[in-house]
Amino acid sequence: MNSAEIRSRWLKFFESGNSQGIKHTVVPSASLIADDPNLLLVNAGMVPFKPFFLGELTPPYKRATSVQKCVRTLDIEEVGKTTRHASFFQMCGNFSFGDYFKEGAITLAWELLTKPISDGGYGFAEDKLWVTVYLDDDEAADIWHKKIGIPKERIQRRGMADNFWSMGIPGPCGPCSEIYFDRGAAYGKEGGPIADEDRYLEIWNLVFMQNMRGEGGGKDGFPILGELPAKSIDTGLGLERTAALLQGVENIYEIDTTQHILNRASDLSGVRYGREPSSDVSLRVIADHARTATMLIGDGVTPGNEGRGYVLRRMMRRTTRNMKLLGSDDRNMSELIKASIEAMGAQYPELQSDSARILKVAEAEEESFLQTLKSGTMIFDQRSASLKKSGTKVLSGEDVFQLHDTYGFPFDLTLEMANEEGLSIDADGFKRLMKQQRERAKADAKSKKSGHTDVTEYRKLAEGAGKLEFVGYESLESESKIVGFLVDGAGVKSASVGDDVEILLDRTPFYAEGGGQLADSGVITTSEGSVIEVEDVQSPIPGIFIHRGRVLSGQIKIGESVLAKIDGDRRKAISRAHTATHMVHKAFREILGETATQAGSENAPGRFRFDFPSSGAVSEGILNDVEARVNSLLLDNLIV
């Protein structure tokens, strides 16, 4: 049974194909880009349903089922070294939100697993299935034995570390029951899952969310506070692991989807899988990472140096380097991505329809990295040879930083290559230099807002100013009072003609630079007729607006009443540029797809800049289409 069929049977069974008549709403897989500030990428099947379990949102259905794309990178260094680790996987899940509970979840799972293949099930032999339950979960144990008919000797009890689930934070939790398949004596000793989890392979986990947990660490270091008013079900079956069992292969790298990519890597490199352990590791890394990269690019992730962009870049660069370790110097990324699309396209047709964009992103990243790899490898080899000659075994933090900063060589790649050469690296030294670089960058960014003034001076102004008000959305001018100002970064009581000043008003119509929009400019006129020309407005600390300018006439003092007036024509020009940015963004997303997300902008009088991720220069044809679309929006004369 191929992977696409396993997926299809799962969804059909829970949608309407089970004998109990318990219908579930089929929920398409969410994007791998997690809609969760605590996650870079979706790493579990229940992540899209987390707000329902936490009580943050009311679910629009009582029962749901999905096959969710997931990426986990905690064990990325182990991928390929073993046949159990993978960075991408699919989690089949069925969920009940205050509807059916333990008996429903257990009977549904048993029916799908053991129903004959000819009747739409997976056809597992009943006598090969074992289950575990939580230590004191007599209810689940009784259902397995009395209703399902599993002999007591194939029902094992385990503690919190193995059979109790929570999200790692205070909130819903509960005992779980896991279903295992006995692969036979050739895979290990008898005795059930508690004796050998290589022989007895877990395929399905049923979580019974019935409790609330408190603060605490680890898998069992937290108190159980009580029971939930509405009990829920969260289950997960690993599609790839199930495919390995149903297809009669040894591991997840030999199932139909992964092996298709692995075989392509083997053909491209001329290295046969199974020839020797070291090349097998490289082929497994390539097969896993190429697929993960394809799925990430498909969901709109672009290679970068931070966050999920760095996860993708790291995957792709490990793929390229492992192809080189196999002796292939050709550009192979496009063929590996094509193989991944072929392998996964039956389950995710959008990969096929979006293949041109996915390939373009992948090829551009490969081209960039090949240049990096060439120069960086040369420098690394020189350093490595020098260290070995001197009898030293540690690559200095300075060398690692230079490879990273000057040649774009990723830290992880340097670490990997050093290990292969029998060297270690000064990771602490590298981290120290990286921290210093980040601090310099932050200081440069802050200097524009603070003008190199000590931020504590602004805090002093704010503390003595009382309530401050921004009225710029309602008015272009405002009667105000000077509540503080600085000259040369220090607080003073007065300033005269020619002084460069930073003024704080109690009420201001001046917009401070932010969100890609430039600050307002204008004039401040005192009740005595003194004039200050305002050239810039910044917010160095939240809640205050610092007006930077020069005293053109007279003298100014703290406490004076003033009229603050912005340049209205300039504000309107900036606003038009800001609106145009949104229209251009909309047009690009309509033409290029949802991956054309805004990465930055600058809105100035008469011009604007719009940044978005792209694998190369935008063609003239697309630019013409965007221009035409924006012009059509302008002709619609929409209200802004």
Residue that terminates a domain, selected from 365, 392, 419:
392
**Phi, psi values for residue 225, rounded to 5°:** -90, -20
CATH number at residue 513: 2.40.30.130
Q: Is residue 116 part of a domain?
A: yes
Tell me the C-alpha distance between 118 and 587, whole Å: 50
Q: Is residue 603 part of a domain?
A: yes
Element containing residue 625 per DSSP (H, E): helix 620-635
| 3-state secondary structure at position 454 | coil
Question: What's residue 615's pLDDT?
Answer: 65
| 595 and 467 housed in the same domain | no
| 48 and 89 housed in the same domain | yes
| 556 and 581 housed in the same domain | no
Which comes out higher in pLDDT, residue 163 or 435?
Answer: 163
Ranges assigned E (strand) in 7-127: 25-26, 63-71, 88-97
| 613 and 626 housed in the same domain | yes
- Render pLDDT for 575-588 as a digit per residue (tens, 0 to 9): 888 888 888 998 88
| Cβ–Cβ under 8 Å, residues 202 and 51 | no
Question: What's residue 449's pLDDT?
Answer: 46
Q: Which tokens go with 600? A: 């930055």
Question: What's residue 22's pLDDT?
Answer: 96
Q: Is residue 421 part of a domain?
A: no
Which comes out higher in pLDDT, residue 55 or 480?
Answer: 480
| 561 and 575 housed in the same domain | no
| 142 and 218 housed in the same domain | yes
| 513 and 485 housed in the same domain | yes
| 577 and 554 housed in the same domain | no
Residue that terminates a domain, selected from 354, 370, 392:
392
Q: Is residue 440 part of a domain?
A: no
**Phi, psi values for residue 174, rounded to 5°:** 170, 170
| 287 and 327 housed in the same domain | yes
Q: Is residue 439 part of a domain?
A: no
Number of domains in the chain: 4
Question: What letter does residue 79 receive in the DSSP assignment?
Answer: B
**Phi, psi values for residue 177, rounded to 5°:** -125, 125
| 3-state secondary structure at position 444 | helix
| 202 and 328 housed in the same domain | no
Q: Is residue 295 part of a domain?
A: yes
**Phi, psi values for residue 331, rounded to 5°:** -85, 110
- Render pLDDT for 395-433 as a digit per residue (tens, 0 to 9): 998 988 888 877 777 787 888 888 888 899 899 999 898
pLDDT score of 369 more than 70? yes
Cβ count near 637 (within 10 Å): 7
Tell me how far CA of residue 228 lies from CA of 23, 98, 192, 576, in angstroms: 24, 10, 32, 53
Tell me how far CA of residue 1 lies from CA of 244, 256, 258, 508, 619, in angstroms: 10, 9, 14, 69, 44
| 3-state secondary structure at position 99 | coil
CATH number at residue 218: 3.30.930.10
| 128 and 232 housed in the same domain | yes
Can you list the alpha helix ranges (DSSP code H) found in 73-203? 102-114, 138-142, 160-163
State the average pLDDT over residues 150-169.
91
Q: Is residue 189 part of a domain?
A: yes
- Render pLDDT for 50-85 as a digit per residue (tens, 0 to 9): 888 877 789 999 999 999 999 998 778 888 888 888
Which amino acid appears at position 429 of this protein?
A: G
The DSSP string of 375-432 is HHHHHHHHHHHHHHHHT--EE-HHHHHHHHHTT---HHHHHHHHHHTT-EE-HHHHHH
For residue 142, what are the contacts with CB-CB under 8 A and spacing of at least 6? none
pLDDT band at 444 (very low <50, low <70, confident <90, very high): low
Which comes out higher in pLDDT, residue 405 or 226?
Answer: 226
| 360 and 464 housed in the same domain | no
CA 134-113-344 angle, to 5 degrees, is: 110
Q: Calculate the average pLDDT of the chain.
A: 90
**Phi, psi values for residue 561, rounded to 5°:** -80, 140
Element containing residue 372 per DSSP (H, E): helix 355-390
Question: What's residue 454's pLDDT?
Answer: 64
Residue that terminates a domain, selected from 186, 218, 246:
246
Q: Any idea which of 181-190, 211-220, 436-445, 473-482 has the lowest mean pLDDT?
A: 436-445
Query: 286: domain range?
Result: 262-392
Which amino acid appears at position 18 of this protein?
A: N
State the average pLDDT over residues 613-636.
83
